[in-house]
A and B are shown apart, each in its own frame.
Chain A
Amino acid sequence: MKRVVHFTLNGFEVEQEIESHKMLLDLLREKFELTGTKEGCGQGECGACTVLVDGLAVNACLFPALEVEGRSVTTVEGLIGEGGRLHPIQEAFVEAGAVQCGFCMPGMVMSAKALLDETPNPTEEEIRRGISGNLCRCTGYVQIVDAIKLASQKLKGDGRG
């Protein structure tokens, strides 16, 4: 059965018809062609599909599409500024050398955003806990943790966040 869902997507009011059994990940990738959000496992274990719903990090692969009704969804595409300017968190990931194959990166960046919105000056332990739901097979996480520390510094002087 199809239903129409109305919500705010990366700052814009949108509406979209979708089958009621579909997940937010399907809605984003198939209906809106926002392929930045990745499916790594489809079971809520790897975090590659992390997006923000009303500011909270969720696994889009397990989040029913119809439940975003009236809510605000931010995906990795929503962080990009005018002229393709990267968000300070994304800049930090690039500068800290945190990127390898990149498949986990959109989810990792969104988890970092949720963490830093809540805890602007996280300890290393808080960072590790904040991204513990985001698996990465390439990096060993060391430079990702560095990147989030750097992002925290950048955001202090930026006022975006």
Chain B
Amino acid sequence: MNEYSFVGKPVPRPDAPDKVAGRALYIHDLKRPGMLYGKIKYSEHAHAKILNIDTSKAERLPGVRAVITAYNTPEVRFGFIRDNIALKKEKVRQFRDEVAAVAAIDPEIAEEALELIKVEYEELPGVFDPEEALKEGAPLIHETDPQGRPKKDNWVPVSWKFNAGDVEEAKKKAKYIAEDYLETPPILHASLGTSGCIAEFDLQGNLIIYTKTQIPFLAQNDFNRALASMGLKGKNTRVIVPTLGGSFGSGLDTHGYEYIAILLAYKTGRPVKIVLDREEESKTLSPRQSTRTKILQGCDENGRLLFREVRMLLDNGAYTSWGATTPSVMMLPISSIYRVPNVFYEARHVYTNNTYCQAMRGYGNPQAAWAIETNLDHLAEEANIDPLDMRLINKNIPDDISPMGLRITTCGMEECLKAVAQKLNWKEKRGKGRNKARGVGIACLFHVGGSGRVYRSDGTGVILKIDDFGYATVVTGAIEMGQGLVAALTVATAEALGVTPDRVMVVTGDTATCPWDVGTHASRGAFTACNAVIMAAQKAREKIFQLAAEHFLNRVNFKLSQMKKKDPNFQIPDLGINRPLEPEDFELKENVLYLRSQPQNKYLRMGLDELIREAHFKEQGTMIITEAFYDPCNQMLDKDTCIGNLSATYIFGAQGAEVEVDLETGHVKILKYVAAHDVGKVLNRHSILGQIYGGAVQGLGFALSEEYKRDKGRMLNPNFLDYKILSANDLSFPIEVELVETMDKEGPFGAKGVGEPGLVAVAPAIANAVYDATGIRINSLPLSPEKIALSVRRLKKE
């Protein structure tokens, strides 16, 4: 194994000092000269006709600079299938629908103006349950599709199907079959920093937008289309991304508020800022899709899986985001976690009058893992096999190809399972604590680890430039949203180029200056950007060594003659170099250039900065700037069969918990939580642990406490008091992490993507532990005290 100078070492995050000092600038902290404040008026009904919008009073309020509705602005269509419009016309389909907006000189006046806008509605019957929405005679959410063709039902025209082998035949052969119906609720991203943007136009009609996004370049494309709709075809957008206060997938789509800020900025000719408050963020930013899943898995008498059949219904809400593609990622574990030859999977989205949904960390995988991993425990019980053994019997293995065509390179699933079992003392504890309502549970995860090609390009570009002082600037379109991209990229650049991390500066977040990147999703940021920077660093080293061959010895001789001038007693040493130097003769490490043949010769060592200046400050001088565009060796799924190697490598892991359940209150107390992850290779230990701890705790919220409450499409708990994300006080138990290094050849220095997997397996691990503790299986998340206490009482009656 290579000896690295910085990879895997606890190098502090370069962005941390500004953040702890309060100096990092989030969208909330930005101001532009002459800036106005925008506010949005949302629908008062889940489903209604708009009869009239009276904005006259609002327009007369002093300090108001513009009031816009669909009736005085061009129609701006957006969304994954362009079924959404920025300002609603004729009809509202969800409570958060935008019907009007105001720009004013301060936020209070804008708020006051909203109150003065009067909208008359004619309420329509709504539908809030995806199965109800499919029934004959259910109210139609959209009367026409985005192309204007009449619609007859509430199906979203995006569906996913995968079929391998023959599930029906396998069912006949299976000795044991388990069938379950499992649900997950909508989940808020709940980033601490809410969403917002500032839009402004230059005098040529080009848009500049500062916005909270994970996809600056796809957003540029979306906004350019919006400009075309506004009569500004051919004009360009510059997207600038401030520090992100968390995002977790909420920035994977462009949003109504961004288009509204653009319309207001164009109308007023001034910068317009819209920042959502917490209530707005909770109500109007799309949550993770809720799912209803029917799953069957079957095995032979030895526990070997024979088939898996999954049918999933997703509540799309009123419009369609990129979240409609999450089943393509769910398909990975559904087709390929554990070795299973026969698989059927079908996922369909249904329009309802609920809030529309989008992807969240895990991109569907938490919902898929919840179904697979709880049902697998059920199957293990049917077959009378220990759930740990069940997983070991069917484990994924390295150098395998799954039925979906996923090429598994490295695979640490077995090591992860064994690590979790050992840390939980599995054999001692499992199945033995039910009298004390104590139990252990385990679940595995399978996720993309080498990006995921859900878009035609899966690339990331970087520019690497070295300045006269030996500092390397890395410019990339990838986005830091807190996950540690800058830290990973700093370490990778330092290692690959041969400089120290303090000589690396990372610049991100501006479409005008940064090379293209598809977006920071799919746990791909560090994987693709670090691979790109390794390529760019390689090119830079070639140039540096070429320059060294030309200039190094001249500089050395010059310095020796200077020394002789200063000190006549100085004896110029014989350097023993009797041939012209070649690029291959040089090495660069930790900012110092030296000869491979004489690494310790102090006269033959030179700072990188010195060489750069030698090559630069002369007639016909030169500088070092390189670029690279890394597009992983993965594939789009075939649109008919869904076969394709979506990711360049895959990540595996196992998580487990020991819990104690209070049978009176139904409260689940976690005694210990364990996460073992195949990470390929640790790039930055702090960051990777932070991703796994943070993911696990988000997963614990998904499992136990986070409940999106709504009544007929209206969100009832849009605040942190009632929508309970976990606090430090809720976590008075150890979280133990084991990092398994499998050194994947596709990964930068062997690393795989790690951003999402931490939360994927949490909910089923907890549910399986609760079952081991109590014999109760709750089929819908969260595993709230009410549900558990109710089930305990029901069980006692039986």
Residues of A within 8 A of B (CB): 34-43, 45-46, 48, 75-77, 79-80, 84, 86, 90, 93-97, 99-106, 109, 124-125, 127-129, 131-145
Q: Could you tell me if A35 and B245 are in contact, using CB atoms closer than 8 angstroms?
A: no
- Closest chain B residue to A84 by CB distance? B21
Q: Could you tell me if A140 and B697 are in contact, using CB atoms closer than 8 angstroms?
A: yes
Q: Could you tell me if B482 and A100 are in contact, using CB atoms closer than 8 angstroms?
A: yes
Also in contact, A105 and B693, with CB within 8 A (given A46-B192, A97-B12, A140-B735): no
> What B residues does A80 contact at CB under 8 A?
21
Interface positions of B from 513 to 544, Cβ below 8 Å from A? none
> What A residues does B24 contact at CB under 8 A?
102
Task: Tell which of A36, A106, A109, A139 touches B693, judged by Cβ atoms closer than 8 Å.
Answer: A139
CA distance A77 to B12 in the complex (A): 21
> What A residues does B689 contact at CB under 8 A?
97, 142-143
Q: Could you tell me if A90 and B21 are in contact, using CB atoms closer than 8 angstroms?
A: yes
Q: Could you tell me if A100 and B483 are in contact, using CB atoms closer than 8 angstroms?
A: yes
Q: Could you tell me if B16 and A94 are in contact, using CB atoms closer than 8 angstroms?
A: yes
> What B residues does A125 contact at CB under 8 A?
732
Q: Could you tell me if B16 and A102 are in contact, using CB atoms closer than 8 angstroms?
A: yes
Q: Could you tell me if A42 and B686 are in contact, using CB atoms closer than 8 angstroms?
A: no
Q: Could you tell me if A35 and B243 are in contact, using CB atoms closer than 8 angstroms?
A: no
Q: Could you tell me if B731 and A99 are in contact, using CB atoms closer than 8 angstroms?
A: no
Instruction: Pick the 5 closest A-B CB pairs, nearest first.
Output: A36-B22, A97-B686, A101-B482, A102-B19, A103-B245
* 0 or 1 for each of B191-206: is its CB under 8 Å from A? (1 = yes): 1111000000000000
Q: Could you tell me if B694 and A140 are in contact, using CB atoms closer than 8 angstroms?
A: yes
- Closest chain B residue to A22 by CB distance? B108
CA distance A142 to B697 in the complex (A): 10
Does chain A have a CB within 8 A of B1? no
Among B22, B24, B243, the one with the most A-chain Cβ atoms within 10 Å of its Cβ is B22
Q: Could you tell me if A36 and B21 are in contact, using CB atoms closer than 8 angstroms?
A: yes
Does chain A have a CB within 8 A of B26? yes
Taking the closest CB of chain A, its distance from the CB of B155, in whole angstroms, is: 34
> What A residues does B243 contact at CB under 8 A?
101-102
CA distance A43 to B698 in the complex (A): 22
26 pairs, A vs B, C-beta closer than 8 Å: A35-B28, A36-B21, A40-B192, A43-B278, A45-B721, A84-B21, A86-B20, A90-B17, A90-B20, A100-B690, A101-B482, A103-B246, A105-B20, A132-B729, A135-B720, A136-B728, A137-B694, A137-B698, A138-B192, A138-B690, A138-B694, A139-B690, A141-B697, A141-B727, A141-B728, A142-B731
Also in contact, A36 and B278, with CB within 8 A (given A94-B16, A101-B244): no
Q: Could you tell me if B21 and A76 are in contact, using CB atoms closer than 8 angstroms?
A: yes
Taking the closest CB of chain B, its distance from the CB of A83, in whole angstroms, is: 13
A sample of 15 more A-B contacts (CB under 8 A), given A43-B278, A45-B720, A103-B193, is A34-B22, A35-B29, A40-B193, A45-B719, A75-B22, A96-B686, A97-B13, A102-B15, A128-B731, A129-B729, A132-B728, A135-B720, A140-B735, A141-B727, A143-B686
Interface positions of B from 1 to 42, Cβ below 8 Å from A? 10, 12-13, 15-26, 28-29
Also in contact, A101 and B22, with CB within 8 A (given A43-B721, A45-B721): no
Among B15, B690, B721, B732, the one with the most A-chain Cβ atoms within 10 Å of its Cβ is B690
Taking the closest CB of chain B, its distance from the CB of A14, in whole angstroms, is: 18
Also in contact, A132 and B727, with CB within 8 A (given A45-B720, A45-B721, A143-B690): yes
Does chain A have a CB within 8 A of B248? yes
CA distance A75 to B21 in the complex (A): 10
Does chain A have a CB within 8 A of B725? yes
- Closest chain A residue to B721 by CB distance? A45
Q: Could you tell me if A94 and B193 are in contact, using CB atoms closer than 8 angstroms?
A: no
Does chain A have a CB within 8 A of B215? no
Taking the closest CB of chain B, its distance from the CB of A102, in whole angstroms, is: 3
Interface positions of B from 685 to 744, Cβ below 8 Å from A? 685-687, 689-690, 693-698, 719-721, 725, 727-729, 731-732, 735
Q: Could you tell me if A103 and B191 are in contact, using CB atoms closer than 8 angstroms?
A: yes
> What B residues does A133 contact at CB under 8 A?
727
Does chain A have a CB within 8 A of B481? yes
Q: Could you tell me if B13 and A37 are in contact, using CB atoms closer than 8 angstroms?
A: no
Does chain A have a CB within 8 A of B362? no
> What B residues does A93 contact at CB under 8 A?
16, 20
> What A residues does B470 contact at CB under 8 A?
none
CA distance A99 to B225 in the complex (A): 37
Task: Tell which of B10, B23, B189, B686 touches A36, judged by Cβ atoms closer than 8 Å.
Answer: B23
Also in contact, A94 and B244, with CB within 8 A (given A101-B193, A138-B694): no
CA distance A42 to B379 in the complex (A): 47
Q: Could you tell me if B732 and A94 are in contact, using CB atoms closer than 8 angstroms?
A: no
Also in contact, A101 and B686, with CB within 8 A (given A42-B277, A125-B732, A135-B192): no
Taking the closest CB of chain A, its distance from the CB of B739, in whole angstroms, is: 14
Does chain A have a CB within 8 A of B484? yes
Q: Could you tell me if A100 and B694 are in contact, using CB atoms closer than 8 angstroms?
A: yes
Q: Could you tell me if A101 and B192 are in contact, using CB atoms closer than 8 angstroms?
A: yes
> What A residues does B483 contact at CB under 8 A?
100
CA distance A93 to B15 in the complex (A): 12
> What A residues does B278 contact at CB under 8 A?
40-43, 46
CA distance A77 to B643 in the complex (A): 54
Interface positions of B from 462 to 490, Cβ below 8 Å from A? 481-484
Among B19, B24, B685, B729, the one with the most A-chain Cβ atoms within 10 Å of its Cβ is B19
Does chain A have a CB within 8 A of B190? yes
- Closest chain B residue to A89 by CB distance? B20
Task: Tell which of A35, A97, A131 touches B22, judged by Cβ atoms closer than 8 Å.
Answer: A35
Q: Could you tell me if A39 and B23 are in contact, using CB atoms closer than 8 angstroms?
A: no
Q: Could you tell me if B192 and A136 are in contact, using CB atoms closer than 8 angstroms?
A: yes
Also in contact, A86 and B17, with CB within 8 A (given A43-B721, A138-B482, A140-B696): yes
Taking the closest CB of chain B, its distance from the CB of A74, in whole angstroms, is: 12
Q: Could you tell me if B720 and A46 are in contact, using CB atoms closer than 8 angstroms?
A: yes
Task: Tell which of B191, B720, B731 touches A141, judged by Cβ atoms closer than 8 Å.
Answer: B731
Among B15, B26, B481, B728, the one with the most A-chain Cβ atoms within 10 Å of its Cβ is B728
Q: Could you tell me if B696 and A43 are in contact, using CB atoms closer than 8 angstroms?
A: no
- Closest chain A residue to B759 by CB distance? A140
Q: Could you tell me if A137 and B191 are in contact, using CB atoms closer than 8 angstroms?
A: yes
- Closest chain A residue to B701 by CB distance? A137
Taking the closest CB of chain B, its distance from the CB of A103, in whole angstroms, is: 3
* 0 or 1 for each of B245-266: is its CB under 8 Å from A? (1 = yes): 1111000000000000000000
Q: Could you tell me if A77 and B720 are in contact, using CB atoms closer than 8 angstroms?
A: no
Q: Could you tell me if B16 and A99 are in contact, using CB atoms closer than 8 angstroms?
A: yes
Task: Tell which of B21, B26, B247 touches A86, judged by Cβ atoms closer than 8 Å.
Answer: B21
CA distance A120 to B230 in the complex (A): 60
Q: Could you tell me if B686 and A105 are in contact, using CB atoms closer than 8 angstroms?
A: no
Q: Could you tell me if A135 and B725 are in contact, using CB atoms closer than 8 angstroms?
A: yes
Q: Could you tell me if A100 and B191 are in contact, using CB atoms closer than 8 angstroms?
A: no
> What B residues does A99 contact at CB under 8 A?
13, 15-16, 19-20
Q: Could you tell me if A142 and B693 are in contact, using CB atoms closer than 8 angstroms?
A: yes
CA distance A104 to B245 in the complex (A): 8
CA distance A109 to B22 in the complex (A): 10
CA distance A111 to B290 in the complex (A): 36
CA distance A6 to B578 in the complex (A): 78
CA distance A128 to B189 in the complex (A): 23
- Closest chain A residue to B275 by CB distance? A39
- Closest chain A residue to B686 by CB distance? A97
> What A residues does B731 contact at CB under 8 A?
128, 140-142
Q: Could you tell me if A128 and B729 are in contact, using CB atoms closer than 8 angstroms?
A: yes
- Closest chain B residue to A104 by CB distance? B192
> What B residues does A39 contact at CB under 8 A?
28
CA distance A50 to B19 in the complex (A): 15
Q: Could you tell me if A94 and B735 are in contact, using CB atoms closer than 8 angstroms?
A: no
Taking the closest CB of chain A, its distance from the CB of B572, in whole angstroms, is: 43
Also in contact, A135 and B727, with CB within 8 A (given A41-B719, A99-B16, A101-B193): yes
CA distance A97 to B732 in the complex (A): 20
> What A residues does B685 contact at CB under 8 A?
97
> What B residues does A127 contact at CB under 8 A?
728
Taking the closest CB of chain A, its distance from the CB of B273, in whole angstroms, is: 13
CA distance A72 to B668 in the complex (A): 43
Q: Could you tell me if A138 and B246 are in contact, using CB atoms closer than 8 angstroms?
A: yes
CA distance A39 to B270 in the complex (A): 25
> What B residues does A140 contact at CB under 8 A?
690, 693-698, 731, 735
